[in-house]
Amino acid sequence: MLAFSYAAAPDTATALDLSGADANAAFIAGGTDLLQLLQEAVIAPRSLIDINALPFVGVRIEQGGARIGALTRLSDVADDAGIQQHFPLLAQALLETASPQVRNMATVGGNLLQRTRCLYFRDATVPCNKRQPGSGCPALDGLNRINAIFGGSEHCIASYPGDMATALLALDADIVVQSLQGERRIRVADLYRLPKETPQHDTFLAPGELITAVLLPSNHAARHSHYLKLRDRASFEWALVSVAVALEMDTTQVRKARVVAGGVGTKPWRLVQVEDDLQGRPLTPDQARQVGDLAGDGAAPRAGNAFKVPMLKRAVERALLMAGGIT
């Protein structure tokens, strides 16, 4: 680990001031991804600003929606009775995230900003356009089993690894961010960038912006939602493919559908065509199979990850059946 300086911010204003004063500073909260990145010299911030004392902790359910403080630990969100009642999709995705130890440490804000697990990004001894712009992308023709089949460019095919953001996208969530310029709201759907020419930028957050909360609007999908995560072992593993489904139903007919895939895109990937085909129709096993077949449209698989296309189709089918209570 390279040396860095450390300052604990007693309040938000100090955290933002410290961050504004050093372009090479990083915020640290739970630290579960940051410590891995530091240990493996993937990043080398000059200073860390500890934001753990800031008052962005806790879950508040109001009028069927929820406000989750960005410093709330993942385990506290997953175990929250209100989240389990109103947003079981989120609780389910979080319980399948990482390990119990990591969930006790990792925060909601930090989880949104976790970096990719691409093998080349995490290995500081090899080229990677995301880690070192312009150095090349060995994943394109290398070990790309875990990489993205949607959203990649000739510069980067790193997949977004998280479960929570995939569920949040299906729940139409927003985040609140603060900076020296004030406060703004961003849809989770608008948070992540495609790699295009600049894969070093994961998100549209400006330097120095701090996530303070996640906002979940009320919905009518709690009884018809499901998070399906497929991975190399039963627990404590990243998704090869995951699917978050949130359905609002009129008896047997789908009124509104959100279907989002994880592990397959350079960002959490909304399957709009699947959603459109579900809308206004009864959800049946045949329908689930047919719309599942649409899930691979537009995919650009590489040699090592072509298996994700059929896996995604059947995962969508399965998740829809589970969400609809049909199995």
Partner 1 sequence: MDNLGQSTPAPDATFNIDINLTVNGTTHRLAVDARTTLLDALRDRLHLTGTKRGCDLGQCGACTVLLDGRRINACLMLAVTVRGRPVTTIEGIAEDGELHPMQTAFVEHDAFQCGYCTPGQIMSAIGLLGELRETDAATIREHMSGNICRCGAYSNIVAAVRAAAGKGS
206 touches partner 1 (CB under 8 A): no
Out of 16, 18, 28, 191, the residue judged to bind partner 1 by CB under 8 A = 28
Q: What Å distances lie between residue 94 and 119, 182, 203, 241, 287, CA to CA?
A: 24, 30, 21, 15, 29
> Count of residues binding partner 1 (CB under 8 A)?
31
Question: Cα(41)–Cα(285) distance, rounded to whole angstroms?
Answer: 49
32 touches partner 1 (CB under 8 A): yes
52 touches partner 1 (CB under 8 A): yes
303 touches partner 1 (CB under 8 A): no
Shorter beta-carbon distance to partner 1: residue 50 or 172: 50
Shorter beta-carbon distance to partner 1: residue 4 or 306: 4
Residue 193 tokens, joined: 């960038």
Residue 125 tokens, joined: 């001894």
31 touches partner 1 (CB under 8 A): yes
Contact pattern for partner 1 over residues 70 through 109, marking x by CB under 8 A: -----x---x------------------xxxxx-xx----
Shorter beta-carbon distance to partner 1: residue 23 or 234: 234
Shorter beta-carbon distance to partner 1: residue 4 or 293: 4
5 touches partner 1 (CB under 8 A): yes
Out of 8, 126, 143, 189, the residue judged to bind partner 1 by CB under 8 A = 8
159 touches partner 1 (CB under 8 A): no
In angstroms, what is the minimal distance from the CB of 160 to partner 1? 19
59 touches partner 1 (CB under 8 A): no
Q: Binding residues for partner 1, per CB under 8 A?
A: 1-6, 8, 28, 31-32, 35-36, 38-40, 48, 50, 52-53, 75, 79, 98-102, 104-105, 234-236
